[in-house]
Structure 1
Amino acid sequence: MDNPGFELQEDGHSSMAPSKIPQKNVCPYPYSFEQNKKSSCSLMKIFLVCFLACLITTAIGVLILSLVYVAQIGPKTGQDKMDSTVEEKPSQNKAESRFSFMNHLSTSKVFTFEGGAIQWARFRNNPKDYSTAAEMRFGASINKHQSKTTLGTLRIVSQGLRVPHWHFNANEHGYLLQGKAWIGVVDEGGSTVTTYNVTAGQVVFFPKNTLHWVKSVSTEDCLFVLFFTTHDELKTLDVDDAFFGTPEDIASRSLKPEGGVQFIRTFRKPIEDQAINLPANLKELINNASYDQSANASVWKYFYDLKGSREFVFPGGIIQWARYRKNGVGLNENERIYSESLNQNADTLTLGTLRIYSNGLRQPHFHFNAHEMGYVISGCGQIGIVGDEPVPEFSVGIGDVFFFPIGTQHYIKSSCLEDLLMILAFSTGNQLKTLDMDDYFHATSDHILAQLFLKKQKEFKKIPVFTEDQAVNIP
């Protein structure tokens, strides 16, 4: 600090030449007492300036950190709220939660074949096989809940054929919405082939690994709603695929045709999938087609006349059942055969149609022993679910699929001028067990309800007991 130049710069006079400095400020001796005193003053100034700079810098730093901290823990506004919503998406999750329980099947991907088309509401092993995120959510939901139910619609054009096939991992239940079909079922060993005709409103049943075919035999298309008893990806094998997957010599030794293996080599595997088949030259291929009907004792193991069965009439609608009844209670002889067939095969389904009159309500209820899946045939409605996750009430219309996990309370109300008609499937081959809201309220003691709801016991006398079942009611 003995350099006068440094001292001048610190005093702010760096532009002044030394020769022009007044003589009174020049010390006669370089190291005089006056110079030492001035150096001490300059050092003090430097110290104070540095100290002040440090204080200011520290204060500014503390202020910045405080503002950042407050911004992180304080209320979110503007963009902060928007960013938070994007990250957490509570409202979106709530809105999208309905897709765990419903599927717009009518707008889903159509798998087309030369003789018809199939659409699916099902689980896929590969997420890329889903068409939309909503379909994937539904598929994941039925798989997570182990629903034992997959749904699809099968359209077969006139004279088209759902080729002989079988399913490795599921029984199949079908409800014919329109048209007329001729069905064939091949029993174990092939000694018994059961054939029969079905029309709209009737039900078909094919046990797991049972070979069967479906032929559309009227002038209009056949349209089936199909339920399969699996929540995993459905596994199916068509007879043509099984044949072309068999070595020629093995097929020849098995079938022993005229011409041997040379005859087997005359078969050509089509490029297109023949799951629903309708060759352009069909009339040239077939000389005679008969659609015979087997004896009732055989047919009713795989068939049920749902539209002709007993109607269970309620104030707000009608239910009809294709189901198992213990000891055949309420069933005729043919229906008993179907009932026992369901119960003897593992993992079968109970089917039913539910018609809710306009403004009617299938009141809140749940099932002890089955998941439920349904398909809307006509009309429109609102569905509410109370389960293990919040789900806002959602709308359903023609072609929509809905799903209620076992034990989940749910209701369905008709919201159109026309009736709401649905085909329902329940994942049990035993007698379905259900409990309605009015039934469990009436079964619970008034004093228990009073303690639970913090209302006076006498208030619960206002809930009437009806002589007529109110399972489907109307205001």
Structure 2
Amino acid sequence: MKIFLVCFLACVITTAIGVLILSLLYQGHFDKSSSPSIMNPAAPGTGKDPPQGSNNSNAATEPQFFFMNQLSKSKVFAFEGGEIQWARYRNNPKDYPQEKDMQFGVSINQHQSKMTVGTLKIVSKGLRAPHWHFNANEHGFLVQGKAWIGVVDDGGNDVTTYNVTAGQVIFFPKNTLHWVKNVGDDDCLFVLFFTTHDELSTLDVDDAFYMTPEDIASRSLKPAGGVNFIRTFMKPKEDQAINLPKNLAELIQNASYVQSNSTDVWKYFYDLKGSKEFIFPGGIIQWARYRKNGAGLNETEKIYSESVNSHTDTLTLGTLRIKSNGLRRHISTQCTEMGYVISGCGQIGIVGDRPVPDFSVGIGDVFFFPIGTQHYIKSICDEDLFMILAFSTGNQLETLDMDDYFHATADHILAQLFLKKQEEFKKIPKFKEDQAVNLP
């Protein structure tokens, strides 16, 4: 009898423990805040559920954050000489400051956007440390300020330096050492586009130096004093990604900001602000891009065009100015598109395989349109809406406007599709002026 009771009690305890474990597993599997889907959440258009959980549960019900990032309100990574903010993908979901940041990061990754966006602010005399990117080309647009750029290419045999001012574009090929120094009195503000939808991988020169064994560094550099000289380098406690020592005046005397010869400079530089304006009824577009056979480009623009096209996975950049109540509506047929709002405010609509409510954008916001997605941008303020745009192609850009594809389709095809008489489509006029940016 005693043996029976002991066995019975053991069975009860074992069963209770088993039930408890199963209950916890069941709850964990369906608990949105701990679902494994957070490690690889889906974006609209993938046919999977959107990401769940994280720091801001309300954002999960706002689908615009799959296509929009409030970059100016995102986490600030502060350094001695400036700051960086990111709209990017992170490998670890815990690295996202907010749910909406994760939604955007996951969306650009799963749509294979080939783009990451960031803003770089450098205070006067600050230096973005010499560095390179393992997995991305970099294209930048200077919104304000004046900077001196250095690019080290061809194994250190070619060093190109040049000055840039607001409205101009810079380009750094993948795995090419480069630096950016603010040489003006005002802060520099760059909008930067990187050609990867994975987590950006970067190495600064000072980090590479401090990770190198001292005897190897000594043998490589062969300084006077040998390894003892190497040992005089003391790694700062703070990250020097944007550097500005307090004793800068003691360290540097008579710095010069040399401009290399034009042939070299134009491989990495484009005067977007000074380029041809394409004027439409509702606004203006300017381009930093590749054109077949250099069509429509001046001699310096051809150098940049060929440079961008000679590297894989580069971008087309452009500025778009939309007048108040103006509208830009089209499809990017070969690439994804991202934009950053510099001034004004707008309304964005996206027509894809899932409905997305229209949403508003303002200064400092980033927006994203997957390849083949019809979309529109409307200026809704009294002032112009002004943006820098990036397209994930280094080849000649191709887009398709709604009026273009209506006129390109036979009337009888449209009549059959829309259940309207064929002659009704004669009411859609063809304009002498391109309506890429139109006004009502």
Q: TM tier, shorter chain?
A: 0.7 to 0.9
Secondary structure of 1:448's partner? helix
Give the structure 2 partner of residue 220 of structure 1: 186
Give the structure 2 partner of residue 339 of structure 1: 305
Provide the rounded CA distance (Å) in 1 between the counterparts of 2:219 and 2:93. 42
Give the structure 1 partner of residue 85 of structure 2: 119
User: Deviation digits for residues 306-362 of structure 1, max 9, x if unmatched?
Assistant: 000000000000000000000000000000000000000000000000000001000
Please tell me whether residue 367 in structure 1 is matched to residue 332 in structure 2.
Answer: yes
Provide the rounded CA distance (Å) in 2 between the counterparts of 1:186 and 1:230. 22
User: Deviation digits for residues 133-160 of structure 1, max 9, x if unmatched?
Assistant: 0110000000000000000000000000
Provide the rounded CA distance (Å) in 1 between the counterparts of 2:197 and 2:439. 35
Secondary structure of 1:391's partner? strand
TM superposition outliers: structure 1 runs of 4+ over 6 Å: none
Provide the rounded CA distance (Å) in 1 between the counterparts of 2:226 and 2:354. 63
User: Deviation digits for residues 235-293 of structure 1, max 9, x if unmatched?
Assistant: 00000000001000000000000000000000000111000000000000001200010
8 Å Cα contact 1:359/1:413 also seen in 2:
yes
Number of matched pairs: 384
Task: State the percentage of identical aligned residues.
Answer: 79
2:427 to 420, 442, 462: 462
8 Å Cα contact 2:322/2:385 also seen in 1:
yes
Give runs of aligned pairs for residues 182-261 of structure 1, distance below 5 A: 182-261=148-227
Secondary structure of 2:349's partner? strand
Secondary structure of 1:366's partner? strand
Give the structure 2 partner of residue 445 of structure 1: 410
8 Å Cα contact 2:71/2:85 also seen in 1:
yes
Structure 1 gaps, min length 5: 1-87
Give the structure 2 partner of residue 416 of structure 1: 381
Give the structure 2 partner of residue 389 of structure 1: 354
TM-score by length of 1: 0.80
Give the structure 2 partner of residue 100 of structure 1: 66
Please tell me whether residue 317 in structure 1 is matched to residue 283 in structure 2.
Answer: yes
8 Å Cα contact 1:94/1:391 also seen in 2:
no
8 Å Cα contact 1:148/1:230 also seen in 2:
yes
Give the structure 2 partner of residue 8 of structure 1: none
User: Deviation digits for residues 92-113 of structure 1, max 9, x if unmatched?
Assistant: 8995111100001111000000
Please tell me whether residue 275 in structure 1 is matched to residue 241 in structure 2.
Answer: yes
8 Å Cα contact 2:60/2:100 also seen in 1:
no
Provide the rounded CA distance (Å) in 2 between the counterparts of 1:302 and 1:95. 42
Secondary structure of 2:414's partner? helix
User: Deviation digits for residues 182-211 of structure 1, max 9, x if unmatched?
Assistant: 000001211110000000000000000000
Letter of the structure 1 residue corresponding to residue 341 of structure 2: V
Provide the rounded CA distance (Å) in 2 between the counterparts of 1:203 and 1:398. 20
Provide the rounded CA distance (Å) in 2 between the counterparts of 1:411 and 1:299. 36
Secondary structure of 2:162's partner? strand
Provide the rounded CA distance (Å) in 2 between the counterparts of 1:273 and 1:388. 44
Provide the rounded CA distance (Å) in 1 between the counterparts of 2:362 and 2:178. 32
8 Å Cα contact 1:95/1:392 also seen in 2:
no
1:163 to 121, 124, 129: 129
Give the structure 2 partner of residue 57 of structure 1: none
Letter of the structure 1 residue corresponding to residue 404 of structure 2: D
Q: CA RMSD in A?
A: 1.1
After superposition, the Cα gap between the structure-2 partners of 1:100 and 1:252, relative to the gap in structure 1 and judged at 3 Å, is: same
8 Å Cα contact 1:182/1:215 also seen in 2:
yes
Give the structure 1 partner of residue 391 of structure 2: 426
More helix by share: 1
Deviation at 1:388, TM superposition (A): 2.0
Deviation at 1:367, TM superposition (A): 1.2
Give the structure 2 partner of residue 58 of structure 1: none
1:137 to 91, 99, 103: 103
TM-score by length of 2: 0.86
Please tell me whether residue 285 in structure 1 is matched to residue 254 in structure 2.
Answer: no
Structure 2 gaps, min length 5: 1-51, 53-57
Larger Rg: 1
